Amino acid sequence: MTNRRAHRLDCRGWLLLLAAAAFISAVPVCAQLEHNGPHEAMALADSTPPYDVASVKQNKSADQSANMTIRDNVFTATNMPLSSILEFAYDVRSDQVAGLSGPVSSARFDIEAKVVPPPGVPMPKLTDTVLQAMIIPLLADRFNLKAHLQSKTMPVYNLVVDHGGPKFKLTEDDDQTNSSVNMNASNSDNTLSAKDATMSDIAAALSDEVHRQVIDKTGLKGDADITLKWTADEAADQGGTVVSIFTAVEEQLGLKLQPAKGPVDTLVIDHAEMPSEN
């Protein structure tokens, strides 16, 4: 991987399940994918050969379930809207995508793309992050997708040190082979654990959970092992105590998510059309 502090995948490949109407992602006891942002995704897409075989079809079923997987050098999307595929391929959130319109914006698609080496050639060892970026040329080819990045001032959170200082130890370690950031969810309980993670790593992981870019403003150097636990609002319906992620960050880490505004890379869709036939 290009980033020495990659988020390790503890599941076999990458898995995203999307709930029916609201398309809410649910990660089933699995690590988070490495996050490098759209610039890195586009650079990887430009420097990596595309998938060898790809099938793209419109899904016209009434089924509301949807899923995407990357596993064994195969990318599969079932009943997925193009917007969600864009978010995954370019490593952006939904609020970072603008300009998608027309029939393609409301349709759903089934996609299967494979890496198929020539006979006698071993299967290449590609990271999930590379396979993720390889979706970009596939979209350009089959959806005639054209897009560009544009910086936009948007609401963000600054990750800062709270009064009293951090509640974890920082170490200097040049060996990052065992660094990881993992997210586990069970019912309404959520746990974010990190090993040998920088504050930037933790900020990136928190961005996924608060659905807004988190910028490291702690000024803290070095690596940390942390465990952060919080509950979803649904815990109240079950008679439990709700601990928000914002409260957990303050009480358990000695940090704070401070609302602010800052520059965020947004993906502007210049053109996209219904896919060509297989």
Of 149, 180, 201, the residue at which a domain comes to its end is 149
Q: Are residues 119 and 166 in the same domain?
A: no
Q: Are residues 88 and 100 in the same domain?
A: yes
Residue 148's nearest CA partner among 98, 80, 107, 104 is 98
Distance, in Å, from the CA atom of 228 to the CA atom of 116, rounded to the nearest integer, reads: 41
Structure pTM? 0.76
Q: Are residues 92 and 166 in the same domain?
A: no
* Summary count for the chain: helices (H), strands (E): 6, 15
97-98 and 255-271 beta bridge pairing: parallel
Q: For residues 154 and 262, is the Cβ–Cβ distance under 8 A? A: yes
Of 149, 167, 201, the residue at which a domain comes to its end is 149
Q: Are residues 141 and 169 in the same domain?
A: no
Q: Widest CA span of the chain, in angstroms? A: 62
Is residue 171 one of the residues assigned to a domain? Answer: yes
CA atoms within 13 A on the CB side of 106: 2
pLDDT digits (tens, 9 = 90+) for 2-18: 332 333 333 333 344 33
Q: What percent of the chain has pLDDT over 70?
A: 83
Of 99, 116, 149, the residue at which a domain comes to its end is 149
E-only strand ranges, 124-241? 146-161, 170-171, 180-186, 189-197, 214-216, 223-231
Two tokens at 241? 């105590």
Q: Are residues 48 and 144 in the same domain?
A: yes
Helix (H) or strand (E) holding 26: strand 25-26
Instruction: Please list the pLDDT of the chain residue by residue as tens digits (278 residues).
Output: 333 233 333 333 334 433 333 333 333 333 445 667 899 999 999 999 999 999 999 999 988 899 999 999 999 999 999 999 999 999 999 889 999 999 999 999 999 999 999 999 999 999 999 999 999 999 999 999 999 999 999 999 999 999 999 999 999 866 555 678 888 888 789 999 999 999 999 998 999 899 899 999 999 999 999 999 999 877 666 667 889 999 999 999 999 999 999 999 999 999 999 998 77
Q: How many domains does the chain have?
A: 2
Query: Cβ of 177: how many Cβ atoms within 10 Å?
Result: 8
66-71 and 74-81 beta bridge pairing: antiparallel
Q: Are residues 201 and 230 in the same domain?
A: yes
Q: Are residues 46 and 138 in the same domain?
A: yes
